[in-house]
């Protein structure tokens, strides 16, 4: 596995806060869960309507998804299995070369 | 040969630098590769001067890729651009005109340490790999480290943040080396193009404030034509406009710095996609992404040569 399988269970989730209250809640939970922000580049940019993509570990994803469902914040799982996506990025030829 | 190198896969830093040295040896009439310094970890910072060699004064266009380590489609495009330019020099009148009248200074990987780290350890690393004994976290955001409203809105003073601006402007040797080169050649360099991912946007200054640049009409028209040309290839839509409005306000970035330092036409591309793959754009999408972007870059360059003061 690429990168020693370190991305197994990781997900990339898209969040779109519908209000400033939701944005504040997202900022707080993102900080707590130490998400990797894919876009925007800084959590300070997140406000109402901001398309926010975060990468979370397996454990963090359970907590985050539960939080989003509880607070009814709109979300979509962009990448369900990040390890698979990392491996699919490269062709078989490139993977062989990397190994 | 030039055509045997695979431009439709992502390459390690070592491969990219070997390819550059190979070009230097085999394409002497159009290519000269040189180093502008060393990275924090001691790697050479290599630039390709691309264009017909001439004793006559020539204006130039600067292109850099790989400021952010995990945005691999950037370096892939820089390599594609060089390949296309060389291969079509004799057959494409527009390319021939560009390479005869201009030099392109292309830096396929600006953040060499970060790119290598993302290749070998952490695919989603963004920053440089500099270390400061005072802090437990490594790296500086190489696109927040330029001296233009440094460490203001959109940048962080926390070394552990991904948008860390650094201990002072141009603290990163990579940023310092490029800044020095651009300062030295700023009278010749007419355009600055920087390649990032992902958002599908073509941006121009300002990023650090909400204001209109003095040469707005020429820049906006160039951007408008470029995204129209880009869309004509595969139907992919790019938004365009001032970075502060189209994306968000961020201070200390290279595009604003280049503009402030006298390079009149400064752009940043955010390449494919818009989030389906994000940073993990599959290799099979390298060709369509680079083909459409190539047309946009040619369009901008030709427009600036012909229509802008």
pLDDT digits (tens, 9 = 90+) for B93-133: 999 999 999 999 999 999 999 999 999 999 999 999 999 99
CA distance A27 to chain B (A): 14
Choose from A41, A50, A85, A99 for mutation: most chain B CBs within 10 A.
Answer: A41
CA distance B248 to chain A (A): 7
Q: What is the pLDDT of residue B283?
A: 96
Size of the A and B interface in Cβ pairs below 8 Å: 70
pLDDT tens-digit series, residues A59-90? 999 999 999 999 999 999 999 999 999 999 98
- The Cα B130–Cα B268 span in angstroms is 24
Q: What is the pLDDT of residue B163?
A: 97
CA distance B51 to chain A (A): 31
In this complex, the residue of A39, A41, A78 whose CB is nearest that of residue B163 is: A41
User: B112-120 vs B13-26: helix axis angle to the nearest 10?
Assistant: 130
If you write DSSP's letter for every residue of B166-185 in order, what string do you get? -SSTT-SHHHHHHHHHHHHT
Q: CA nearest B209: which of B172, B144, B269, B256?
A: B256
pLDDT tens-digit series, residues B3-36? 789 999 999 999 999 999 999 999 999 999 999 9
CA separation, residue B92 to residues B28, B87, B232, B236 (Å): 20, 9, 19, 24
pLDDT tens-digit series, residues B251-284? 999 999 999 999 999 999 999 999 999 999 999 9
Q: Enumerate chain A positions whose Cβ falls within 8 A of a Cβ in B.
A: 2-3, 7, 12, 14, 36-42, 44-45, 51, 53, 55, 78-79, 85-86, 88-91, 93-94, 98
What distance, in Å, lies between the first and last C-alpha atoms of chain B?
39
Answer whether residue A45 shows pLDDT above 80.
Answer: yes
- Among residues B153, B270, B283, B292, the one annotated as catalytic is B270
| H or E element, residue A7 | none
pLDDT tens-digit series, residues B144-154? 999 999 999 99
Give the chain A residue nearest B285 (alpha carbons). A89
What mean pLDDT do residues B202-206 have? 98
CB-based contact A53 B275, cutoff 8 Å: yes
pLDDT tens-digit series, residues B41-97? 999 999 999 999 999 999 999 999 999 999 999 999 999 999 999 999 999 999 999
Q: Is B270 a catalytic residue?
A: yes
Give, as one character, the DSSP assignment of residue B280.
-
Residues of B in contact with A76 (CB under 8 A): none
In this complex, the residue of B124, B250, B283 whose CB is nearest that of residue A55 is: B124
In this complex, the residue of A39, A79, A86 whose CB is nearest that of residue B123 is: A86
Q: What is the pLDDT of residue B71?
A: 98
Residues of B in contact with A88 (CB under 8 A): 280, 282
Asked if A85 contacts A50 with a C-beta cutoff of 8 angstroms, the reply is no
Question: Which alpha helices (DSSP H) does chain B contain, by range?
Answer: 13-26, 73-88, 93-101, 112-120, 173-184, 216-234, 243-246, 254-260, 286-307
- The Cα A22–Cα B259 span in angstroms is 37
User: Nearest 5°: phi and psi at B204?
Assistant: -140, 170
The reply to whether ipTM tops 0.85 is: yes
In this complex, the residue of A42, A79, A93 whose CB is nearest that of residue B156 is: A42
Asked if B259 contacts B205 with a C-beta cutoff of 8 angstroms, the reply is yes
CB-based contact A85 B154, cutoff 8 Å: no
Asked if A18 contacts A48 with a C-beta cutoff of 8 angstroms, the reply is yes
Sorting pLDDT into bands at 50, 70 and 90, what band is B309?
A: confident
Beta carbons within 8 Å of A45's beta carbon, 6+ residues apart? B154, B248
CB-based contact A79 B280, cutoff 8 Å: yes
Phi-psi region of B238 (alpha: psi -120 to 50; beta: other; left: phi over 0): beta
Sorting pLDDT into bands at 50, 70 and 90, what band is A99?
A: low
Residues of A in contact with B277 (CB under 8 A): 79, 85, 89
- The Cα B231–Cα B237 span in angstroms is 6
Q: What is the pLDDT of residue A37?
A: 97
Strand partners, B106: B48, B63
pLDDT tens-digit series, residues A18-40? 999 999 999 999 999 999 999 99
CB-based contact B248 A45, cutoff 8 Å: yes
Beta carbons within 8 Å of A89's beta carbon, 6+ residues apart? B10, B277, B280, B281, B282, B283
Asked if B286 contacts B212 with a C-beta cutoff of 8 angstroms, the reply is no
Q: Structure tokens of B106?
A: 């292309």
Sorting pLDDT into bands at 50, 70 and 90, what band is B1?
A: low
On the CB side of A86, CA atoms within 13 Å amount to 25
Q: What is the pLDDT of residue B138?
A: 98
- The Cα B50–Cα B52 span in angstroms is 7
The helix/strand/coil state of B157 is coil
What mean pLDDT do residues B229-248 have? 96
């Amino acid at each position: 596995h690429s990168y020693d399988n370190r991305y197994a269970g990781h997900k990339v989730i898209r969040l779109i806060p519908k209000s400033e209250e939701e944005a504040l809640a997202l900022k707080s939970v993102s900080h707590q869960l130490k998400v990797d922000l894919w876009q925007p580049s800084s959590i300070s940019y997140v406000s109402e309507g901001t398309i926010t993509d975060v990468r979370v570990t397996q454990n963090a994803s359970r907590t985050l998804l539960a939080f989003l469902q509880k607070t009814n914040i709109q979300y979509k799982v962009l990448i369900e299995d990040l390890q698979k996506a990392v491996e699919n990025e490269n062709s078989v030829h490139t993977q062989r070369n990397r190994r | 040969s030039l055509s045997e190198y695979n431009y439709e896969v992502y390459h390690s830093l070592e491969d990219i630098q070997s390819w550059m040295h190979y070009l230097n040896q085999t394409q002497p009439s159009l290519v000269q590769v040189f180093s502008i310094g060393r990275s924090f970890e001691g790697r050479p910072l290599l630039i390709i001067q691309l264009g017909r060699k001439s004793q006559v004064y020539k204006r130039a266009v600067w292109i850099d890729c790989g400021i952010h380590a995990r945005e691999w489609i950037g370096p892939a495009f820089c390599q594609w651009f060089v390949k296309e330019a060389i291969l079509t020099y004799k057959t494409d009148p527009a390319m021939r005109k560009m390479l005869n009248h201009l030099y392109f200074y292309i830096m396929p990987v600006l953040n060499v340490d970060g790119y290598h780290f993302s290749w070998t350890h952490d695919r989603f690393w963004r920053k440089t790999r500099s270390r400061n004994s005072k802090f437990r976290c490594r790296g500086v955001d190489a696109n927040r480290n330029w001296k233009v409203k440094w460490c203001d809105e959109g940048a962080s003073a926390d070394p552990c943040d991904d948008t860390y601006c650094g201990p002072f402007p141009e603290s990163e040797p990579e940023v310092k080396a490029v800044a020095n080169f651009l300062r030295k050649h700023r009278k010749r360099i007419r355009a600055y193009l920087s390649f990032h991912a992902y958002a599908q946007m073509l941006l121009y200054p300002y990023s650090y404030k909400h204001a209109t640049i003095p040469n707005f009409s020429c820049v906006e028209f160039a951007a408008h034509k470029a995204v129209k040309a880009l869309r004509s290839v595969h139907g992919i839509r790019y938004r365009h406009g001032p970075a502060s409005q189209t994306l968000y306000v961020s201070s200390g970035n290279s595009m604003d710095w280049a503009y402030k330092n006298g390079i009149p036409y400064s752009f940043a591309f955010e390449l494919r996609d818009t989030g389906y793959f994000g940073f993990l754009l599959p290799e099979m999408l390298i060709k369509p992404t680079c083909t459409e972007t190539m047309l946009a870059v040619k369009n901008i360059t030709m427009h600036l040569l012909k229509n802008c003061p």
